Amino acid sequence: MAQEERMLITGGQRLEGTVRVSGGKNTSVAIIPATILSQTPCVIENLPDIEDVHVSVETLRHLGARVNWDPALGTMEVDASSICRTDVPLELCRRMRASSYYIGALLARFGQAQVPLPGGCDIGRRPIDQHIKGMRALGARVETAHGLVTATADGLTGGDVFMDMVTVGGTINVMLAAACAQGTTTIYNAAKEPHIVDLANFLNSMGCRVKGAGTDVIRVRGVQKLASRRPYAVIPDQIETGTLMIAAAATHGDVTICGCIPTHMEALTAKLLEMGAKVDERDDAIRVRSIGAHRAVTFKTQVYPGFPTDLQQPMSALLCTATGTSTVVENIFESRFRHLAEMERMGARVRIFEQTAVIEGVPQLHAAAVEATDLRAGAALVIAGLMAQGTTEISNTCFIDRGYEHLEKKLSSLGAVIWRAQE
């Protein structure tokens, strides 16, 4: 990834005040392809102005859909009736992992899809064998050759899909394909993340019949003609909420995050409380305060409602200055510790044994020039920069822009000294 901009942070400022969380990245990249299924134009609201949404807009327009997207308002109108092709270009797939969702959506609406294998973050192999297994269970013919997935179907028929492991993307892709299939599809060992429920709610708002979303068995009764009847607002971003909570604790600040869903944050809240931070929950807001030293903790990433893998990296930054030795076990992806090498340049003391990182707390991190290696690694380096003495320079900010809407504006509004500089 070319190094376009750097983000600079002068650490040591307490974050204080109120900030509003944006709409969810991972729910947006699932609901936008789902608009392909609607016979009527769709209006989606609360979309974040982030790179992954821009790539989603480019993908829909490439397919021939008419898209009006107002990044400032967060509102998108999609008319899929003008879609005239079913191939997604490699250039777009390389920029976004969620491009695989167009397999399920295009198969459901048009009975065919040609989508290159997805790119995404360098956090692991990230195959899509379970996605393909699900499509085949619904009667599709799916071939993968030369990095391209080619899927065809003379009408999809509901079936049973037992996921070999819990996969968010696999669950989403099968839900999209099943939404217009003849009959009922049952997904066993389904993912339960909040954005699975959000997608189910959006599909049901178009007339589909999805039951059990949020549990490990999801039933989708396909409906031939889905039609959006009213605007749909995506849920707030669970991972941005968590990142802001961690930033508040990291700077011993006092921050209220508005527009979030506290029940989505329970695993992180429990860990922050264990570390000695104070967390107060309201209906749609969370207040995080932290005064004294933080206690070291142990956590293991799990599927929802366990500790989210996407918060492992920001949380490991916070643990670098906790009192004592913390243990982090990454159970979801095979190489999601690359940020730790960058944080060692800032004085962190870390030892890695396969999927386990042992972090020995140090009194203070110091600023350094560091490089974001993926989206949440970038977030971890922002947290480290907020804590460090001096001015940290983070390169490859394009990764951060994939998933955080105006992160430096939000942090500046809370008192952080953070800005961007062109190369």
Nearer to ligand EPZ, 8 or 371 (CB): 371
Q: How far is the CB of 388 from ligand EPZ (least distance, A)?
A: 23
Ramachandran quadrant class, 390 (left: phi over 0; alpha: psi -120 to 50; beta: rest) = left
Q: How far is CA 295 from the centre of its chain?
A: 28
Q: Does 151 bind ligand EPZ (CB under 6 A)?
A: no
Q: Does 29 bind ligand EPZ (CB under 6 A)?
A: yes
Touching ligand EPZ, residues 302-321 (CB under 6 A): 309-310
All residues at 6 or more sequence positions from 171 whose CB lies less than 8 Å from its CB, including other chains: 163, 187, 190, 191, 196, 218
Nearer to ligand EPZ, 33 or 347 (CB): 33
Nearer to ligand EPZ, 294 or 336 (CB): 336
Q: Does 130 bind ligand EPZ (CB under 6 A)?
A: yes
Which among 23-31, 196-204, 258-266, 272-280 is the span making contact with ligand EPZ, rule CB under 6 A?
Answer: 23-31
Nearer to ligand EPZ, 234 or 367 (CB): 234
Written as six digits, the tokens of 263 are 């029940």
Q: Does 168 bind ligand EPZ (CB under 6 A)?
A: yes
Contact between 97 and 126 under an 8 Å Cβ cutoff? The reply is yes
Which among 9-17, 147-155, 168-176, 271-279 is the span making contact with ligand EPZ, rule CB under 6 A?
Answer: 168-176
Q: How far is the CB of 104 from ligand EPZ (least distance, A)?
A: 12
213-219 contact pairs (CB < 8 A, 24+): 215/190, 216/166, 216/188, 216/189, 216/190, 216/192, 217/186, 217/187, 217/188, 217/190, 218/171, 218/175, 218/186, 218/187, 218/190, 219/184, 219/185, 219/186, 219/187
Q: How many residues bind ligand EPZ (CB under 6 A)?
A: 27
Contact between 128 and 338 under an 8 Å Cβ cutoff? The reply is no
Which among 77-85, 128-136, 143-151, 286-294 is the span making contact with ligand EPZ, rule CB under 6 A?
Answer: 128-136
Which of 6, 109, 131, 271 is the binder for ligand EPZ (CB under 6 A)?
131
- Residue 19 dihedral angles phi and psi, to the nearest 5°: -140, 145
Q: Does 241 bind ligand EPZ (CB under 6 A)?
A: no
- Measuring CA to CA, how many Å separate 368 from each of 23, 396, 401, 412? 32, 14, 21, 20
Which of 165, 217, 273, 421 is the binder for ligand EPZ (CB under 6 A)?
165
Q: How far is the CB of 127 from ligand EPZ (least distance, A)?
A: 5
Q: How far is the CB of 16 from ligand EPZ (least distance, A)?
A: 27
Return the closest-CA partner of residue 231 out of 365, 382, 77.
77
Touching ligand EPZ, residues 337-396 (CB under 6 A): 375-376
Nearer to ligand EPZ, 223 or 268 (CB): 268
Q: How far is the CB of 215 from ligand EPZ (least distance, A)?
A: 16
Nearer to ligand EPZ, 8 or 36 (CB): 36
3-state secondary structure 207-269: CCEEECECECEEEEECCCCECCCCCEECCECHHHHHHHHHHHHHCCCEEEEECCCHHHHHHHH
Q: How far is the CB of 309 from ligand EPZ (least distance, A)?
A: 5
Beta-bridge partners for 23:
236
Q: Does 97 bind ligand EPZ (CB under 6 A)?
A: yes
Number of H helices, E strands in the chain: 14, 23
Name the active-site residue from 42, 93, 121, 180: 121
Q: Does 242 bind ligand EPZ (CB under 6 A)?
A: no
Q: How far is the CB of 98 from ligand EPZ (least distance, A)?
A: 4
Beta-bridge partners for 38:
226
Beta-bridge partners for 148:
116, 145
Nearer to ligand EPZ, 199 or 416 (CB): 199
Which of 7, 22, 26, 197 is the binder for ligand EPZ (CB under 6 A)?
26
Q: Does 98 bind ligand EPZ (CB under 6 A)?
A: yes
Contact between 115 and 102 under an 8 Å Cβ cutoff? The reply is yes
Q: How far is CA 293 from the centre of its chain?
A: 30
| Cβ burial 102-129 (10 Å sphere, 16+ → b, else e) | bbbbbbbbbbbbbbbbbbbbebeebebe
Nearer to ligand EPZ, 212 or 276 (CB): 212
Does 121 qualify as catalytic in the annotation?
A: yes
Interface residues with ligand EPZ (CB under 6 A)?
25-26, 29, 97-98, 121, 124-131, 165, 167-170, 239, 309-310, 332-333, 375-376, 403
Active centre residues (catalytic): 121
